[in-house]
């Protein structure tokens, strides 16, 4: 590449014509307050929504656990497990949102920026495992609550066959996991792969360029 020629051309590059000018100074007011990240990279809204939902479930789970503890404690293990799962899920999402710190993310240098985007997407993909477990537990708890009111005798026999409850739970978790793995997750997986490949390309090119500079 002839750098001198390119520099000359660069300096004489025409202005974008008025009809094509992407922005007028009045538009700047709007631009400085918009979010620069596209939906694929900006997960804050999704994470906040999940945190709100999980908090509500956590409160409900806590209340149900308390009722079990004060009552006959027949089904205490399920409610303890549900409460612990919700606590960890909530912790995981809060940790992810704190780590992402979207307001300062774009201010990082390129390689750490791409690395951080990669970690955020990786953790977001991992969070779907927790989501499928929470959905499965919620369905089972709702089913039990409905059965307690609709048919107490049937509920008693369901409780006596303890293995069937845990088997149903495992089946639900695996089903939701497979469902999410084939519907929502692939596009995030593709994105994280592209980011990883891109970061690797930049790192390799940077290392090569540094070697040339030393030589």
Partner 1 sequence: MNNFAKSFADTDLRSLLKQQHKTVYSICRLFARTYKDHQRLFMNVISAAAQNIRFRKGDVNKQTMLWRACINMAALHSITSTMEQAPTREIKFKSPDYQHSMEVLDDAMGNAGDYDKFLLFIDLENIDSNDLFGSVNRPTAQPASAAHVIPYLKEKLIWS
- Which parts of 161-190 interact with partner 1 (CB under 8 A)? 190
Q: Which pair of structure tokens corresponds to residue 192? A: 């994280």
Tell which residue, 121, 131, 149, has the closest CA to residue 90. Answer: 131
Q: Which residue intervals of 71-161 are DSSP H helices?
A: 76-100, 102-105, 110-150, 152-160
Helix (H) or strand (E) segment spanning residue 72:
none
What is the nearest approach in angstroms of partner 1 to the Cβ of residue 197?
8
What is the nearest approach in angstroms of partner 1 to the Cβ of residue 9?
6
- With H, G, I as helix, E, B as strand and everything else as coil, classify residue 199: helix
Question: Which of 74, 95, 126, 157 is the binder for partner 1 (CB under 8 A)?
Answer: 95
Asked if 129 touches partner 1 (CB under 8 A), the answer is: no
Question: Which of 4, 20, 149, 215 is the binder for partner 1 (CB under 8 A)?
Answer: 20
| Residue located via tokens 């791409």 | 114
Distance CA 44, CA 25 (A): 29
123 vs 165 by CB, closer to partner 1? 123
Phi-psi region of 64 (alpha: psi -120 to 50; beta: other; left: phi over 0): alpha
Pair 44, 97: CB distance under 8 Å: yes
31 vs 59 by CB, closer to partner 1? 31
50 vs 199 by CB, closer to partner 1? 199
Binding mask 31-60 for partner 1 (x = CB under 8 A): xxxxxxxx-xx-------------------
How many Å separate Cα 162 from the centre of its chain?
A: 33
Asked if 90 touches partner 1 (CB under 8 A), the answer is: no
| Residue located via tokens 């939902």 | 53
User: Which chain residues interact with partner 1 by CB under 8 A?
Assistant: 1-3, 5-7, 9-10, 13-14, 16-17, 19-20, 22-23, 25, 28-29, 31-38, 40-41, 95, 98-99, 103-104, 106-116, 119, 123, 190-191, 194-195, 198, 201-203, 205-207, 209
């Amino acid at each position: 590449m002839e750098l001198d020629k390119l520099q000359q051309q660069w300096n004489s590059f025409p202005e974008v014509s008025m009809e094509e000018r992407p922005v007028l100074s009045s538009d700047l007011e709007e631009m400085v307050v918009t979010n620069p990240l596209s939906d694929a990279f900006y997960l804050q809204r999704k994470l906040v929504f999940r945190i709100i939902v999980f908090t509500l479930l956590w409160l409900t789970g806590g209340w149900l656990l308390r009722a079990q503890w004060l009552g006959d404690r027949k089904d205490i293990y399920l409610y303890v497990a549900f409460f612990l799962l919700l606590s960890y899920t909530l912790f995981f999402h809060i940790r992810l949102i704190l780590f992402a710190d979207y307001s300062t993310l774009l201010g990082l240098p390129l390689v750490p920026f791409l690395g951080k985007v990669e970690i955020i997407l990786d953790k977001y993909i991992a969070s779907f495992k927790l989501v499928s477990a929470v959905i499965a537990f919620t369905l089972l708890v709702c089913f039990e609550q409905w059965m307690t009111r609709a048919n107490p005798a049937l509920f008693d026999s369901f409780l006596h066959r303890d293995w069937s409850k845990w088997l149903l739970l495992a089946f639900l978790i695996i089903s939701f996991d497979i469902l999410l793995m084939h519907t929502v997750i692939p596009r995030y997986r593709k994105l994280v792969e592209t980011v990883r490949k891109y970061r690797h390309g930049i790192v390799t090119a940077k290392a090569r360029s540094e070697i040339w500079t030393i030589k």
